[in-house]
Amino acid sequence: EIVMTQSPATLSVSPGDRATLSCRASQSVRINLAWYQQKPGQAPRLLIYGASTRATGVPARFSGSGSGTEFTLTISSLQSEDFAVYYCQQYNNWYTFGQGTKLEIK
C-alpha cells in the first residue's frame, strides 16, 4: 500500500497570505495525485487532479505541483472560505489518502 504523508498537520495562516501544503508518497505515484478540500460537516470537494490540473469551478488561487513522491498545494491569497482540511490522494496504485492538513486562521 502506498502511504501518503501530509505536512504540516495544522497550518496557521492569515487571510490574504499564501499557504503551502505538502504531501509525500511512500513510492512514486507519477502525477496521479489529487487534492481535496473538506469543510466541517461537508463532503470532500475535488480541487486538483493530475497533480496540477484544477477541477471545474476551482479558483485560480489554488495550484498544485510536483511529481513522483513530492507534491505541493499552494493557495496564493487565502480567502475566508479556504480555511478547511485538505487531503491529498494518490490513484497510481489503488486509492489512498493522506491524513490531512488543517488550514486555520492565524
Partner 1 sequence: QITLKESGPTLVKPTQTLTLTCTFSGFSLSTSGVGVGWIRQPPGKALEWLALIFWDDDKHYSPSLNRRLIITKDTSKNQVDLTMTNMDPVDTATYYCAHYYASVFDYWGQGTLVTVSS
Interaction site with partner 1 (CB under 8 A): 1, 32, 34, 36, 42-46, 49, 55, 87, 89, 91, 94-100
CB 12 to partner 1: min, Å:
19
* 16/43 with CB nearer partner 1: 43
CB 34 within 8 A of CB 92: no
CB 47 to partner 1: min, Å:
10
Q: Pairing state of beta strands 45-49 and 53-54?
A: antiparallel
CB 19 within 8 A of CB 11: yes
